[in-house]
Amino acid sequence: MGLWTLVQAQPAEVEEAPVTRLPPRAELASDAYQELAVRLRAEYLKPPAQWPAPTLDPGVTLVELGLVPPAPHPKENPYGKEKAELGKLLFFDPRLSGSGEMACASCHDPDLSWADGRTTSFGHGRTQLKRNAPTLLNVGHVTRLFWDGRAASLEQQATEVVMNQDEMRNSPVRVAERLGAVPAYPGLFLAAFGDATVNLQRSAMAIATFQRTIASRSNKFDSFLKGKPEALSDAAVRGLHLFRTDARCINCHMGPTFSDGKFHNENLTYYGRKFEDLGRYAVTQNPADVGRFRTPTLRNIPRTGPYMHNGLFPHLEGVLRAYNAGMGTIRRKPGQENDPLFPVKSPLLKPLGLNEHDLADLRAFLESLAETPLRVRPELPLDAPK
Ligand code: HEC
Ligand code: HEC
């Protein structure tokens, strides 16, 4: 890849595609919006089971929005305080990478909402990776990890990324040697695992345990759910209602983490083009999975951009406009008439016809999901040679 290709912005497929936009619905008078907010606020202050009915498509089973419970720890790798603390040190330790310069935190930086703020990440030797780094907030609730769901556990995921040639480019032998040479680590592994063996498998277990503690702490929506009516503005309350009804978001962004954990095609495949990413298909080889990606969480969404698996949208505004247009339609080109792999957009995506007032309300609701920033200061044992 030449330098220019690396810096060139990715083409916006959704904007190019022929779009059947719905005309925006009529706006209400300002006092009508105010009355609507008063009515909806009263409805949404009731327990979620009594909230207004959501707009769901046939076949969609709702898990209602709510507070995030603590993430479960698996039997094979139970929680331990020492293990989580060790995992936190390792998460920030660049010795895990072949170059000795890249830590998990390089791409999942707590100061950048556990992501890296980049369109797509760069790995070992600044290799341009093809996907955007997701936030790790509440990642302990994700059962099929990565945008395409190819890892089944956080333990497996951490091992994979350390060994991946384009990412951390390390080997189990070198991880054991490098970490084992740090005077503090054997004792910390002893405290976490009962003996002092330092290896990649245990490092991955400790990092996984730490990641299961990366959880939502507080945001305005949660405060509202906990019974503080003033935590959400009028606009955000109307936005919450839109999210669950006319904007149809809840068909996929549902449950406490705002994700159904399923894979959907949003027309961002770049099929047959330079930035092609077949998504879930690479894992299942099922043609129906071409271009499907896992529904991401929307918690802390104002701070986790750029958005989508390829970081296509720098701002939420663009995401909302694309959804309002139903994410466009890609037509088959000559020769693609009978192509079994031709990506098919999710039928759950339709033009919405929201007006500017609606979009601002929806945006206000998404803004209420911003988490109170938390400083994470790792104390690394940096006293040993690298
Ligand atoms: C070079 C940048 C980079 C580094 C270093 C890195 N990651 Fe990632 N991480 C990514 C990208 C990009 C993805 C998405 C990849 C994909 O979906 O194919 C990802 C995905 C993940 C996921 C899946 C999240 C989800 O919602 O599915 C987890 C968990 C994760 N990384 C943890 C780690 C841990 C732990 C480390 C250190 C051992 C690490 N990462 C190091 C860039 C990085
Ligand atoms: C068909 C299921 C579905 C519906 C309906 C849906 N989403 Fe999504 N959403 C997804 C998937 C899947 C992605 C990731 C797509 C990709 O990267 O290719 C996503 C991505 C996003 C992102 C980017 C998140 C990130 O971290 O990159 C935002 C923001 C978002 N959706 C908001 C919304 C809003 C607001 C609505 C309602 C207007 C909505 N979504 C409706 C499934 C859905």
Compute the average pLDDT of residues 283-303: 97
- Shared-domain flag, residues 348 and 236: yes
Answer whether 351's CB lies under 8 Å from 21's CB: yes
Tell me if 296 CB under 6 Å of ligand 2: yes
Burial of 273 (0-12, 13-18, 19+ CB in 10 A): exposed
pLDDT of residue 298: 98
- Alpha-carbon distance of 183 to 179, in angstroms, equals 9
Pocket test residue of 121, 126, 141, 161 for ligand 1, highest count of atoms within 8 A of CB: 161
**Residue 2 domain-assigned (yes or no):** no
- Alpha-carbon distance of 140 to 157, in angstroms, equals 12
- Shared-domain flag, residues 202 and 222: no
The predicted-structure confidence for 145-177, as pLDDT tens digits, reads as follows: 999 999 999 999 999 999 998 889 999 999 999
Q: Which ligand has the shortest distance to the CA of 352?
A: 2
Q: Which ligand has the shortest distance to the CA of 166?
A: 1
Tell me if 266 CB under 6 Å of ligand 2: yes
Answer whether 367's CB lies under 8 Å from 236's CB: yes
The predicted-structure confidence for 265-289, as pLDDT tens digits, reads as follows: 999 999 988 899 999 999 999 999 9
The CATH number covering residue 330 comes to: 1.10.760.10
Compute the average pLDDT of residues 85-101: 95
In total, how many domains does the chain have? 2
Whole-model pTM: value is 0.94
Closest listed residue to residue 301, CA positions, set 109, 71, 108, 115: 115
**Residue 111 domain-assigned (yes or no):** yes
Compute the average pLDDT of residues 335-346: 92
Model confidence at 3: pLDDT above 50: no
CA of 310, closest atom in ligand 2: 17
Pocket test residue of 142, 252, 368 for ligand 2, highest count of atoms within 8 A of CB: 252
Judged by average pLDDT, the poorest of 139-148, 220-229, 278-287, 330-339 is: 330-339
- Alpha-carbon distance of 265 to 260, in angstroms, equals 14
Compute the average pLDDT of residues 349-372: 97
When the pLDDT of each residue in the chain is averaged and rounded to a whole number, the result is 92
- Shared-domain flag, residues 145 and 108: yes
pLDDT of residue 106: 95
The predicted-structure confidence for 18-66, as pLDDT tens digits, reads as follows: 455 789 999 999 999 999 999 999 999 999 999 999 999 999 999 999 9
**Residue 3 domain-assigned (yes or no):** no
- Alpha-carbon distance of 382 to 288, in angstroms, equals 49
The predicted-structure confidence for 54-88, as pLDDT tens digits, reads as follows: 999 999 999 999 999 999 999 999 999 999 999 99
Would you name the residues annotated as active-site residues? 167
User: Where is the domain boundary, 163, 192, 211?
Assistant: 211
pLDDT of residue 2: 36
- Shared-domain flag, residues 16 and 40: yes
Domain that holds residue 350: 12-68+217-367
